[in-house]
Structure 1
Amino acid sequence: MIATMRSPEKETELTSYQNVFIYPLDVTKPEQISQTVSEVLKKHEVDVLFNNAGYGMKSRFEDMTEEAMQQSLNTNLLGMIRVTQKFIPYFKKKKSGLILTTTSLAGEMGLALDGIYAADKWAVTGVCEMLYHELAPFGIQVKIIVPGVVKTGFKMETFAMPGFDQLLKNQTKMLMPDTDSLESPEEVAQDIFKAVTDKDRDRMCYVTGKITKELYEKRQKLGDEAFRRYIRNQLMSKRKV
């Protein structure tokens, strides 16, 4: 397995495994991407590319700063595109390969205050769906993992959001009705393993977690317009949460 991270010198756990090779990679730095991918492909055979870098931000739309928007776009969307571009010629030459990308529930349904993060994730899903068709003639699979709220150390930059207290409480309650509804990293890892090993080569989307699956399936069942009304009613409710 090949793992990449911005600061490999800080890693302590993965370095203990003999079959894990660690390389430096910041997906916001095109030159480093080219250098690292070139070095990796010279030394290793790669069957699966897993795009998992992410930057979170929650804010009122009008309060998003230029710096935060650029950071989010650079990491979540452009970073994924840059890395994927470097592997496509390699996979085409092999006539096989899997490109697996972590998206988000925020890329399947628009929620208030998700700001540029939602825009990034919707775009990532769109890019992956486009590549699903474009790369099929070359034997390359494209799949996405769609998690909701996961118990990890993922940090989300949060701005002040005056006037949204009740809506934010309702939205949080909808996504996390209780602590047991949070997805564990182990559960998500199982879905990632399933996506990688699944013999169904035509399946693209793997949704993780109970609440995320319920919302994803509800949208499919109700249709887009009815689902949007359902979500708005949930968020605008005056009930105590």
Structure 2
Amino acid sequence: MTVAETARMWAGCVSGARPEAEVLALVGLEAKAGVRVKQLSGGQRRRLDLALALLGDPEVLFLDEPTTGLDAEGRRDTWDLVSALRDRGTTVLLTTHYMEEAENLADRLAIMHEGRIAVTGTPAEVTATEPSRITFELPDGYLVGDLPPLAALGVSDHAVDGRMVRLRTRELQRAATGLLTWAQDTGVELRRLDVRSASLEEAFLQIAKDTSTAMATKKEYAA
């Protein structure tokens, strides 16, 4: 069947179906309406899946990795569509392997690792479990010991790689303010300065590491 015929058939299976042309336009398939489904690319088939899910204008929508196989533009378009559905009041339960996708779309999320829910919360609550980081290049003639006392800045640990310094802190504003104030008072430039909160990907990797360690310890005790 063609894309339009598939949508028409599916619309007959739901009550109060939206116009087929409308949902095809929502997912960017209006130009493919007359094309047979077997001739669509993998990404276009994912768009058709989404269009069929939207035909019934559901109150609750389950999406299983909806952007797999899509190019960058298609992924962004799908994000915009999911956001619009959420803003209209549709509850969307979405699974994804893309951390950026979860961070952009989720009001609340649950991270599953090895078949178990390891953590739940808002993206901000989950990422807050990991320290923020500040990286910069030491000015010529300066050593780490010339910086303000790192503990006084709220820095939990640091690493040095050549001239590059990486600080980790749970008090990002305090640490960044202290470091920049020192640089201004000293009259130096902190080149390649990068200040950022932890990402959801970093939080996920740490959760995976902690869970694996805990399970290994449990097996040792069981043995």
- The structure with higher relative contact order (CA 8 Å, sep 6+) is 1
TM-score by length of 2: 0.30
Higher strand share: 2
TM-score w.r.t. length of structure 1: 0.28
**Which has more radius of gyration?**
2
Judging by fraction of residues, say which structure has more helix.
1
